[in-house]
Amino acid sequence: MSVLEERGLLSGKQGGTTGYKLVPVEGGGLFLCIYLIKREAYIMIIVMSPTSTQDDLEKVQQKILQRGLQYHMSTGESRTIVGVIGDKKAIANLQMNAFSGVEKTVRITEKYKLVSREFKPEDTIVDVGGVKVGGGHLAIMAGPCAVESMDQLMEAAQCVKAAGAQFLRGGAFKPRTSPYDFQGLEEEGLQMLRQAGDAVGLKVVTEIVNMNDIGLLCKYADVLQIGARNMQNFQLLKAVGKTQMPVLLKRGLSATINEWLNAAEYIISEGNENIIFCERGIRTYETFTRNTLDLSAVAAVKELSHLPVIVDPSHGTGRWQMVLPMSRAAIAAGADGLMIEVHPHPEVALSDGDQSLRPENFRVLMDEVHRIAQAMGRK
């Protein structure tokens, strides 16, 4: 046994989670190579019967923990679902069907587990301080692309509130393609957002760019937005996952639906299930629009996941004239809400004026969208 093994620092076993290898080095001596072996994460769903008791559930949980596995709970209207996560071999040997109160077990084969509708058949409703997103509730997030001044923001906030929006959107930190473009007012902009939101009674949605700013953003925002450029910033996803703040996860510029769902898995696997997907268009060969708004993604995400999904037709088209028709289509496709850029004077906007609606056009949009939503039985 090596000194390292005697001290309990390494197992020396290749089949474990840690190991080492002594590699001869040219000229004499040995090089110590320490490595980690990450076992494949796997998940099995245990569906408890409607008549199961709390004692039945506790026995199931105890068995899972005894095998060195983890579990996540999902409580629906009539059934409780236990998601078991861990090593594939350990789960394969976990015989749960004979336990009292267990209706059935199902193994999930997709890489995204906890965001899957297999894990939770019922729609998740994200509650943002009393404002609900998902489950038939229509959420409207509106405001300027960037916070420019208090006057501009208050005028926009009053307009979108009067028209029926529940959220004020606005960027204080702006990740721009060019380093010479307006980058945002940072904390000053966050203070303005909070002040304007509180003044008119709107929840605040704003983008987080740097994981080191989480504490700052949580101080002012009600929803943390992960922008398209950061959809696969995995350290940022993990960091927001450790909070219980609602997270708006935009689809990446060229991301597949599978990649988008797996990005959400990074957040939910850290314990935060308050996630709202946002389809904002993807990059294609088309040049007439800024992006190609993929409304089929709404139906796809609804089929594959229990999490709510909204649509951003402003970024999805890049043309203010197309925002209204695409908003109508998004609600008809089943979207749980919209994110719309509204600027009181888009001709002088510091960011994305071409895709921003004037207040009077936003009022028309809200009127038409609500009529479509009512026809579909939405709230």
pLDDT per residue over 198-213, tens digit each? Answer: 999 999 999 999 999 9
CATH fold group of domain 126-375: TIM Barrel (3.20.20)
Select, from the ranges 96-100, 109-113, 269-273, 299-303, the one with the highest average predicted confidence (pLDDT).
299-303
Closest CA to 292 of 251, 242, 234: 251
pLDDT per residue over 46-96, tens digit each? Answer: 989 999 999 999 999 999 999 999 888 888 777 788 989 888 888 888 889
The CB density around residue 305, as the number of other CB atoms within 10 Å, is 26
Residue 377: left (phi > 0), alpha (psi -120 to 50), or beta?
left
The secondary element (H helix, E strand) that includes residue 31 is strand 30-36
pLDDT per residue over 240-253, tens digit each? Answer: 999 999 999 999 99
Assign 38 a pLDDT band (cuts: 50, 70, 90): very low
- Give me the pLDDT at residue 250, please: 98
Token pair 């597949």 in the structure block, residue: 256
pLDDT per residue over 143-185, tens digit each? Answer: 999 999 999 999 999 999 999 999 999 999 987 778 878 778 9
Output 178 or 129, whichever has higher pLDDT.
129
- Which residues, other chains included, contact 185 with Cβ-Cβ below 8 Å and sequence gap of 6+? 147, 148, 172, 192
Instruction: Give the separation between CA 379 and CA 126, rounded to whole angstroms.
Output: 15
- Give me the pLDDT at residue 41, please: 61
Assign 276 a pLDDT band (cuts: 50, 70, 90): very high
Domain definitions of the chain by residue range: 3-36, 41-108, 126-375
- Give me the pLDDT at residue 196, please: 98
Q: What tokens were used for 80?
A: 């409780």
Grouping H, G, I as helix, E, B as strand and the rest as coil, residue 276 is strand
Residue 32 has pLDDT above 70, yes or no: no
Give percent above pLDDT 90 in the chain: 72
Q: What tokens were used for 341?
A: 């850029």
- Which residues, other chains included, contact 9 with Cβ-Cβ below 8 Å and sequence gap of 6+? none
Instruction: Give the separation between CA 27 and CA 29, rounded to whole angstroms.
Output: 7
Instruction: Give the separation between CA 133 and CA 307, rounded to whole angstroms.
Output: 9
Output 124 or 5, whichever has higher pLDDT.
124
Read off the pLDDT of each residue in 210-228 and give the average, rounded to a whole number: 96
- Give the CATH architecture of domain 41-108: 2-Layer Sandwich (3.30)
Q: What angle in degrees, to the nearest 10, is found between the helix axes of 257-268 and 296-304?
A: 50
In the structure, how many helices (H) and strands (E) does the chain have? 12, 16
What is the value of pTM for the model shown?
0.82
Mean pLDDT of all residues belonging to the chain: 88
Give percent above pLDDT 70 in the chain: 89
Closest CA to 224 of 337, 128, 119, 340: 128
Tell me the C-alpha to C-alpha distance, in Å, between residue 192 and each of 186, 272, 297.
Answer: 10, 27, 34
- Give me the pLDDT at residue 64, please: 93
Instruction: Give the separation between CA 291 and CA 346, rounded to whole angstroms.
Output: 20
- Give me the pLDDT at residue 40, please: 53
Residue 8 has pLDDT above 90, yes or no: no
pLDDT per residue over 314-373, tens digit each? Answer: 999 999 999 999 999 999 999 999 999 999 999 999 999 999 999 999 999 999 999 999
Tell me the C-alpha to C-alpha distance, in Å, between residue 175 and each of 28, 178, 210, 228, 327.
Answer: 51, 9, 10, 10, 25
